[in-house]
Amino acid sequence: MKYDFDQIIDRKDTDSIKWQRYGNEVIPLWVADMDFDSPGPIIKALHERVDHRVFGYAGPSEELISVIQERLKRLYRWDVLPEHIIFVPGVVTGLNLAFHLFANPGDSVLVQPPVYSRFITDPVIRGRTLIDPPLTKKGDTYEIDFDAFERAITTRTKVYVLCNPHNPVGRVFRTDELERLAHICIRHRILICADEIHCDLLYPGYRHIPIATLGNEAADRTITFMSPSKTFNVAGLSCSFAVITNPLLRKAWIKESEGLIPHVNIMGLTAALAAFKDGQEWLDQCLSYLKGNRDFLVEYVREKLPSINMTHIEGTYLAWLDCRQSGIQGNPFHFFLKEGKVAFNNGAECGKGGEGFVRLNFACPRKTLVEALERMAGALKKL
């Protein structure tokens, strides 16, 4: 089946957070969901579930668990048992439960900014301390300062949140980088909570490696979060899963989440099974389209927005734009919203190193992307 990613789907007045927050005059390129049709097999499966007309309590089927096992084995040579797979409504929910379970109030959570804003705010909301040695910007990419990473660790550092592929800087971390991170965490007895939700959204030349696959010690200290939500554009159906191979961690997780974390809803489970079973054709075409958008964006920024620098994107459909040399006075998020009627994510909310940046979501029809970029160019001409 040939999918039409150029099709403009009107999402206004559909309760879309992305399209509703800033009003109809603004082009929203912020929240990380796509403006594309979801895969045909998912839509068909959801129709069939609706036509069944009963929406009782549901749990993950043996088939869904088996499909996830097969997928992890095929893509990553990762053998997991059915009991290792724990479903959660979302990665953020899972991370907050991990902060609650495995770090006491006053203990610290380690993150690497600039990073998804919830990783910055949520540990503090939970009464934990944030430790945030930043990634180091080098040219058009970012690297890990391992010495700074290890120096930041204290005896009260209990959890490290790994974001790979990284949101928003677009890195797909190499095996040697992940091995070094794992060794540091093992040495300091730190739990790794790995947000790998963008693991399917990679560009040619890059390969995702779950950190938990780097040996038994790494696996014992890792909770891995994955989901069909970003990959197959079903984020609103709230279905994710954690892989927890350590039986003690898993026992604590199951006990403490009972009655606190809701079960994944029946529509989310239905979509996940259809996505993982029959969504690859759509995903292959989507990745090709996203690569086209990425490459178009690179050329447009280089030729028509020369005062803005863009980080090289290895994975995700998110662009990290450095506006510090553009002449914008103040926050570029506010500038482009007011002067260009384009909404991005505010880089300052991503922690250290995010000031003067915006995050752009290019998972949209090319026409929408072009119009937004032209509005950016027009706004900059006003300076």
Q: Given a cut of 90, is residue 379 above it in pLDDT? A: yes
List the Cα angle 172/176/179 in 5-degree steps.
100
Indicate if 262 and 289 belong to the same structural domain: no
DSSP letter assigned to residue 180: H
148-180 pLDDT, tens digit each: 999 999 999 999 999 999 999 999 999 999 999
Per-residue pLDDT of 258-308, as tens digits, reads 999 999 999 999 999 999 999 999 999 999 999 999 999 999 999 999 999
Per residue in 327-349, pLDDT tens?
999 999 999 999 999 999 999 99
Q: Torsions phi, psi of 245, nearest 5?
A: -85, -25
Dist CA 346 CA 31 (whole Å): 11
Domain assignment present for 11: no
Name the residue among 363, 370, 366, 367 with its Cα closest to residue 318.
363
Average pLDDT over residues 101-126: 97
Q: Which residue has the tokens 């909301």?
A: 125
Q: Are 352 and 8 in contact (CB under 8 A)?
A: no
1 pLDDT band, cuts 50/70/90, is: confident
Mean pLDDT of 369-377: 98
Q: Average pLDDT, whole number, for the chain? A: 97
Alpha-carbon torsion angle 334, 335, 338, 339, nearest 10: -170
Q: Output the CA–CA distances (angstroms, integers) from residue 78 to 181, 192, 209, in the order listed.
A: 19, 17, 10
Give the pLDDT mean for 90-115: 97
Instruction: Say if 189 falls within a structural domain.
Output: yes
Q: Is residue 45 part of a domain?
A: no
* 328 plus 228 within the same structural domain: no
Looking at the predicted structure, is the pLDDT value of residue 229 above 90? yes
Domain boundary among 277, 297, 325: 277
Residue 263 lies in a domain: yes
CA 84 – CA 150 distance, rounded (Å): 30
- Distance (Å) of CA 148 to CA 136, 172, 186: 10, 20, 17
Give dist(CA 358, CA 109) in Å, integer.
25
Predicted confidence (pLDDT) at residue 74 exceeds the cutoff of 90? yes
CB 285 within 8 A of CB 2: yes
Q: Give the other-Cβ count within 10 Å of 212's Cβ.
A: 28
CATH code: domain of residue 146 = 3.40.640.10
Q: What is the model's pLDDT at position 50?
A: 98
Same structural domain for residues 289 and 252?
no
Residues 87 and 165 in one domain: yes
Q: Compute CA distances 150 → 70, 76, 106, 188, 359, whole Å.
A: 36, 28, 19, 9, 28
Strand residue runs (E) in the chain: 27-28, 85-88, 108-110, 129-131, 136-138, 141-143, 157-163, 191-195, 222-226, 240-243, 309-310, 318-322, 342-343, 345-346, 357-361
Percentage, residues of the chain above pLDDT 70: 100
On whether both 76 and 220 belong to a single domain, the answer is yes
pLDDT at 266: 97
| CATH of residue 346 | 3.90.1150.10
Strands 191-195 and 129-131: unpaired
Domain co-membership, 153 together with 194: yes
Neighbours of 6 (CB within 10 A): 11
What local confidence, expressed as pLDDT, does residue 216 receive? Answer: 97
pTM: 0.97
The residue range of the domain holding 165 is 54-277
- Residues 99-114 have a mean pLDDT of 98
Work out how many domains the chain is built from and give that number: 2
Condensed to tens digits (0 to 9), the pLDDT of residues 20-36 reads 999 999 999 999 999 99
Q: Which amino acid is at 342?
A: V
Q: Let me know whether 125 and 273 are in one domain.
A: yes
What is the C-alpha separation between 342 and 297, in angstroms, rounded?
A: 15
Secondary structure letter of residue 360 according to DSSP: E
| 300 and 354 together in one domain | yes
**Are the C-beta atoms of residues 44 and 51 closer than 8 Å to each other?**
no
Q: Are residues 236 and 257 in the same domain?
A: yes
